[in-house]
Amino acid sequence: MTYANPHAPEDAFLETFPGAMALDLGVRRGLIDRIALDGAVPVDALNLPAEAAFFPVLLERAGVVVRTGDALSLTDAFARVWPARRTALAHKLRFLKAVSVDLAMGMSDLVGDLPTFMKQAHSFDIFDYSHALKTDADALARTQIWCDYVAVLTETEAPEITAAIDLDPGARVLEVGGNVGVLASAIMTAFGAEVTVLDLPGVCELGKRRNAERASGARPTFVAGDARQGEWDELPGAPWDAVLFKSVLHDWPEDQRGTLLDHALAALGPGGQVIIAERGPLEATGPLPYWLSADLVFAPFYRSGEWYAAALRARGCEVTQFTPDLGLPFHITVGVKT
Ligand SMILES: C[S@@+](CC[C@H](N)C(=O)[O-])C[C@H]1O[C@@H](n2cnc3c(N)ncnc32)[C@H](O)[C@@H]1O
């Protein structure tokens, strides 16, 4: 493993806590934009108090800026990332900051009292799915925060997932918990498939808005509902050739993961595919960059590829697995219903 997601070059600037915090402040104060626009900015022009001389030094050590004489400019490496990945950086930094507080204050609960950790964690407050049951402006604003974050992650994972799976042109795919349709749209484009996303009402509303301008061949259909209710063969768009779960099953207790897989297989005919893309448990080797903290709060819920393969085999599927190199443990498990 290379320990870097090739589609997420911004992670190189989220390797350390001090570097990431300096970058966050530089972005929020408009400093990064200013340096990018002007090419070079004298340190004096930043109007920092003398005691804050360490701040541009942090940005230098984080590889964001380089100092020539008394002027700061973006490093070539950061200039290549900015501005194309600025949105990704903003969403990742927002979540990382919440996680940092949670880990600093709650590591003991994370390893010893998970329910208390989850009740107190800012990161789980961000991922409060109950807001997505409503579609008023306030509820959508709350829902958008975590939808934007997972969309940024999925944008960088979708190329590896579409490279691993195989679907016929015109295949009908149900993506359960497909969020705002990032992977769904990528699959439509890659295979000429028809993808329907089943997700909560607020998420579907945001997904429709996000994809409204897309060409019909890349615009998923959104169906609002509760995936736990099953009977997916009765949803608009059925019958399905494949049911897809991407970073969804780990959200549920193990028995409910099994129920969701049962729902999927009940909605498929022989030859139909269940496609599962999930992060795996933390591995013992490799670096521990700051950006990896974002996954630690979910670490108790990740299961190995073997766990998912066994769950599909137990339900009569023939299983194939892929492990794309996304900088962290990640597995794609495809079960074909026999
Ligand atoms: C961790 S996110 C993953 C989103 C997306 N698959 C991705 O990887 O970007 C889990 C998704 O499951 C959805 N979800 C949660 N509870 C659900 C339910 N009861 N029925 C349908 N979708 C649900 C959430 O709204 C969210 O979009």
Q: 177 in ligand 1 pocket by Cβ < 6 Å? A: yes
Alpha-carbon torsion angle 231, 234, 237, 242, nearest 10 = 40
- Angle of CA points 295, 155, 306, to nearest 5°: 50
Cα–Cα distance, 12 to 199 (Å, whole number): 32
**DSSP β-bridge partners for residue 198:** 176, 223
Query: Cis omega before residue 56 (within 30°)?
Result: no
The residues of the chain scoring below 50 in pLDDT are none
Residue 1's pLDDT is what? 83
3-class state of residue 73 by DSSP: strand
Q: For every residue of 313-332, which 3-state class applies, written as one string? A: HCCCEEEEEECCCCCCCEEE
Contacts of 251 (CB under 8 A, 6+ apart): 177, 301
CA 19 to chain centre: 22
Domains and CATH numbers, the chain: 9-81 (no CATH), 156-337 (3.40.50.150)
Q: 228 in ligand 1 pocket by Cβ < 6 Å? A: yes
In degrees and rounded to multiples of 5, residue 176 shows phi and psi of -85, 130
b/e map 89-108, b = 16+ CB within 10 Å: bbbbbebbbbbbebbeebee
Q: 251 in ligand 1 pocket by Cβ < 6 Å? A: yes
Q: 227 in ligand 1 pocket by Cβ < 6 Å? A: yes
The model's pLDDT over 20-68, given as tens digits with 9 standing for 90+, comes to: 999 999 999 999 999 999 999 999 999 999 999 999 999 999 999 999 9
Residue 302's pLDDT is what? 98
For residue 65, how far is its CA from the centre of ligand 1 (angstroms)?
38
Cα–Cα distance, 189 to 218 (Å, whole number): 5
The model's pLDDT over 300-329, given as tens digits with 9 standing for 90+, comes to: 999 999 999 999 999 999 999 999 999 999
